[in-house]
Structure 1
Amino acid sequence: MIGISMFFTALLLLLIGFPVAFTFAAVAVFFGMIAGIVEIYSYGGFDAGLISGLIEGLNEGVAMFGYMPYRIFAIQQNTILMAIPMFIFMGIVLQKTGLAEKLLESMGFLFGEIRGGIAISTVLVGSLLAASTGVVGASVVAMGVISLPVMMKYKYSTELATGTICASGTLGQIIPPSIVLIILGDVFQVPVGDLFKAAVWPALTLVASYIVYILIVSYIKKDVAPAIPADPSRGSKKKQVYKALIDIIPSLTLIILVLGSIFGGIATPTESSAVGSIGAVGLALMYKTFSIDMIKMAAQESVKITSMVFAILIGATAFSMVFSYTGGEEIVTEFMNNLPGDNKTSFILFTMLAILILGFFIDFVEISYIIVPIIVPIAAALGINPVWFAILIAMNLQTSFLTPPFGFSLFYLKGVAPPSVSTVQIYRGVIPFILIQIVVLGVLAFYPEFFGIDSMM
């Protein structure tokens, strides 16, 4: 039971607020020492004396970590993970080009004359930004600064406005190129390009579901999202459409460069991330926001975020090594195999529920590197298609950005929202969108053929 104890100890420390990477590493070392002592005790090592037995047990625990340099070196040699810093860099550079501002302004006026039009344009811009950058924080902050004041000005419901912004900002978790999909591709050991292709239809379904919900709510409750009167100063409708298309073209070009090169088999995700970084710099030049200082700041931010991801990965590697050594994997496997009903269905339902609940409290990176590696061998033994299972997990992890009390998107938006917008209003606003995600997740789980995915190997 040492492995199970260390899992709950790590979870408790994370809930208290200890740094993620150091929590995993410290818990791994502590329980590794305990495992060494227990092993020496079971072989009669304490017969010669308490002190000598403890020393021998600690030495046994330390010896376990002799394999860590090889594991860390294997992480450093993983070319798939090279895409993470470059996609992060691409997203931060695009954030500074003012792309989101131009898109929201044009599309907001384009759809504004219908009820819920600004909210719909927010969803569409969120999906374009997700496909261009994949950076959740940047998307939520940008739309919170630009779109929220406009919706508040035209008497939109605070709950609908904040919920739409938070949900739209998290689309970067499932719409390629997604950092989550890159991480899951590494964990599942499947081509990231296959995950990108498989994620397209579920992601578009989610976007369409958001828009349908906004339209229904807007027409049932007419005061929730009123239409915006036409603005003659912006010219004719034809001119507004033309301007919106001009603002969309740069994003679409970058999406085609990045995703088209992957889907067309021209480049790997790692190579396309480099193409995307160059494309982002090109857009900065086009929008006349390029400067050496901007590139330097973007590079520094990329290094910080990437360092956080890789520090968590190294700590999680130590954690999973000790967890396996202490027999934790065997206990989890036995538990999963003994679930009532059909093994595959019970396994999917239990893992999805567990990840959904864990997403209320801990981040997607910790779940990806701690929980997912434990369940991957079980999924393989049940003959589950790893691509389908990875997409299920990715969509589930997207929900972790929205679920109170620790959803990161909620805090991003609260940080830029006016003081009149309360945290409770944001919480209430995201609940319908969380339910929509769960419904789409259920359809993907039980009817994967609807999205052109096979659930079995």
Structure 2
Amino acid sequence: MEWMPLVLFVAVCLVLMLGFPVAFSLAGTSLIIAGFGYLAGSFDGAFLSALPNRIFGILSNQILIAVPLFVFMGIMLEKSRIAERLLHNMALLFGPLRGGLGISVILVGMLMAASTGIIGATVVTMGLISLPAMLKNGYSPSLAAGNICATGTLGQIIPPSTALILLGDVLSNAYQQAQLSMGIFSPDTVSVADLFVGALIPGLLLVVSYMLYMGFTAWLKPQAAPAMVDRPELDMKFAKQLLAGLIPPLALMLAVLGSILTGIATPTEAAAVGAAGATILALIYGQLSLPRLKEVMDGTLKVTSMIFMIFIGAAVFSLVFRGFGGDEQVQALFEAMPGGKIGAMLVVMLVIFLLGFILDFIEITFVVVPIVAPILLAMGIDPIWLGIMIAINLQTSFLTPPFGFALFYLRGVAPKELPTSAIYRGVIPFIAIQVGMLVLLSFIPELATWLPDKIYG
């Protein structure tokens, strides 16, 4: 039954849209359809015999240990109000400039997005902290909302990012499958560090583009992004306060990312440094207590359990999909597609963009990417470039009305006086910036591949 892989994929998407837990939707739906397929003689049950080894491989994967550590780091920075202190100090620094508060939100949101890697947490946190301040200082509601939503989605691309860690693990397996399909037996693989380095230039370009847009808007429409009314005296006391609030969090981020880029530490080791450093910062700022530590650990456990259960559910889905011959059908479809690898890449990007309206990045990473990535890599597409394109594509999808997740998260914490239409209008320029980055990367892949080649050779 050639249509069974399509039935499986559509059924999983429908169950997820109904709101059932992701991990159990993936595994349960796949096993039910596999059972019917086995009875009908269209499913080879031998594929499921590999499931125990798959689960053991997931739980013993040293790279994935970085996930709970980075999650702990992000939640600790959020719960200990370090992000709020950082935003306050950045706002004091840039506040005297028109658009300065918006630029401060972008910079602090970039650091928060990188540390948590979870769009919902970043948008909600920045919405609670910065949206009232921006509205109080006379910012245009649509500009303030769009700025916060766009900044929150930077967690997809700014390293160290949980999304890039998960993509790195999936693309590593896909790269090995692609090599085996071409009869190549090589120990080369795609590391998380490769994706981190590859994401640096595109991620920083996005941040700079956001800041330029904010500055241009403030110049063109001064009333939309005015300077802060309350300006502190620029004396030594203010300088000490500013440095005390800025240097420790920035030093932590640089220590984590720098240790990875220089090869001093693996992503997992750097994640441990980040988790310990965030705890020390909370202690220094007097924000660490046993109840707060318990709250951070509970949050880390919930997020980590969710992610690893999705890993297992995605493994079941992948095995059942291959048991129905879905990977072979997708490969045949891509090979017959006009435009070769360019046409195949365009279709994959469109599908991922549309799925981003209904699925989170974790589901897409472990449901869609393992299906399409081995085929695209076997067609000659660079794995680092592919990973960065997928990350920015998802970032754009999560920002696009009317279904973008970031819009829903901000709507949930925004005051009722802020209309939803203002949020939708505010994100449009940022969507254009991100689409422009995708187009730029399409024509200049070296933006993602040059730095990894330069560092790792």
Structure 1 Cα separation of the partners of residues 337 and 107 of structure 2: 41
Letter paired with 2:434: Q
Deviation, 1:454, is: 8.8
Deviation, 1:108, is: 1.5
Moved more, 415-424 or 207-216: 415-424
1:6 to 8, 12, 33: 8
Report what 1:410 is aligned to: 407
Residue 15 (1) aligns with residue 17 (2)? yes
Instruction: Report if the CA contact (8 A) 2:102-2:147 is conserved.
Output: yes
Report what 2:51 is aligned to: 68
Letter paired with 2:371: I
Instruction: Report if the CA contact (8 A) 1:329-1:374 is conserved.
Output: yes
Cα displacement string for residues 133-173 of structure 1 (whole angstroms, at most 9, x for unaligned residues):
43433332232122111211122111110110111122122
3-state DSSP class of the match of 1:113? coil
Structure 2 Cα separation of the partners of residues 38 and 241 of structure 1: 74
3-state DSSP class of the match of 2:27? helix
Task: Describe the shift of the 1:226–1:411 C-alpha distance in structure 2 as closer, same or farther (beyond 3 A).
Answer: same
Task: Describe the shift of the 1:389–1:358 C-alpha distance in structure 2 as closer, same or farther (beyond 3 A).
Answer: same
Task: Describe the shift of the 1:352–1:440 C-alpha distance in structure 2 as closer, same or farther (beyond 3 A).
Answer: same
Instruction: Report if the CA contact (8 A) 2:72-2:275 is conserved.
Output: yes
Higher RCO by CA contacts (8 Å cutoff, separation 6 or greater): 2
Instruction: Report if the CA contact (8 A) 1:414-1:423 is conserved.
Output: yes
Residue 118 (1) aligns with residue 101 (2)? yes
Cα displacement string for residues 326-372 of structure 1 (whole angstroms, at most 9, x for unaligned residues):
0111111111112212x222122221121111111211111100110
Instruction: Report if the CA contact (8 A) 1:392-1:441 is conserved.
Output: yes
3-state DSSP class of the match of 1:266? coil
Residue 377 (1) aligns with residue 374 (2)? yes
Residue 81 (1) aligns with residue 83 (2)? no
Structure 2 Cα separation of the partners of residues 76 and 131 of structure 1: 24
Deviation, 1:248, is: 1.4
Structure 1 Cα separation of the partners of residues 161 and 52 of structure 2: 29
Letter paired with 2:351: A
Letter paired with 1:308: M
| Equivalences for residues 41-440 of structure 1 within 5 A | 61=45, 64-189=47-172, 190-229=190-229, 231=231, 234-236=232-234, 240=238, 242-341=240-339, 343-440=340-437
TM-score norm. by structure 2 comes to 0.90
Letter paired with 1:326: F
Structure 1 Cα separation of the partners of residues 442 and 110 of structure 2: 22
3-state DSSP class of the match of 1:409? helix
Structure 2 Cα separation of the partners of residues 184 and 437 of structure 1: 19
Structure 2 Cα separation of the partners of residues 454 and 260 of structure 1: 14
Moved more, 211-220 or 193-202: 211-220
User: Max radius of gyration: which structure?
Assistant: 1
Structure 2 Cα separation of the partners of residues 307 and 95 of structure 1: 20
Structure 2 Cα separation of the partners of residues 422 and 317 of structure 1: 42
Percent of aligned pairs sharing the same letter:
49
Instruction: Report if the CA contact (8 A) 1:10-1:24 is conserved.
Output: yes
Specify every segment of 5 or more residues in structure 1 that has no aligned partner in the other structure, as ranges: 41-56
Instruction: Report if the CA contact (8 A) 1:385-1:454 is conserved.
Output: no
Structure 2 Cα separation of the partners of residues 235 and 307 of structure 1: 48
Task: Describe the shift of the 1:446–1:239 C-alpha distance in structure 2 as closer, same or farther (beyond 3 A).
Answer: farther
Instruction: Report if the CA contact (8 A) 1:21-1:316 is conserved.
Output: yes
Deviation, 1:242, is: 4.8
Letter paired with 2:394: L
Structure 1 Cα separation of the partners of residues 119 and 325 of structure 2: 37
Structure 2 Cα separation of the partners of residues 112 and 91 of structure 1: 26
Report what 1:44 is aligned to: none
Instruction: Report if the CA contact (8 A) 2:80-2:287 is conserved.
Output: yes
Specify every segment of 5 or more residues in structure 2 that has no aligned partner in the other structure, as ranges: 173-189
Structure 2 Cα separation of the partners of residues 174 and 183 of structure 1: 12
3-state DSSP class of the match of 1:223? helix
Structure 2 Cα separation of the partners of residues 356 and 73 of structure 1: 32
Moved more, 279-288 or 426-435: 426-435
Instruction: Report if the CA contact (8 A) 2:198-2:452 is conserved.
Output: no
Instruction: Report if the CA contact (8 A) 1:388-1:454 is conserved.
Output: no
Deviation, 1:307, is: 0.9
Instruction: Report if the CA contact (8 A) 1:361-1:405 is conserved.
Output: no
TM-score norm. by structure 1 comes to 0.90
Structure 1 vs Structure 2 CA RMSD = 2.1
Structure 2 Cα separation of the partners of residues 28 and 94 of structure 1: 38
Structure 1 Cα separation of the partners of residues 336 and 327 of structure 2: 14
3-state DSSP class of the match of 1:384? coil
Deviation, 1:64, is: 4.7
3-state DSSP class of the match of 1:235? coil
Instruction: Report if the CA contact (8 A) 1:362-1:406 is conserved.
Output: no
3-state DSSP class of the match of 1:110? helix
Cα displacement string for residues 404-431 of structure 1 (whole angstroms, at most 9, x for unaligned residues):
3443322332222212112332222222
Instruction: Report if the CA contact (8 A) 2:116-2:162 is conserved.
Output: no
Alignment: residue pair count: 435
Instruction: Report if the CA contact (8 A) 1:195-1:390 is conserved.
Output: yes
Structure 2 Cα separation of the partners of residues 332 and 25 of structure 1: 21
Structure 2 Cα separation of the partners of residues 245 and 71 of structure 1: 48
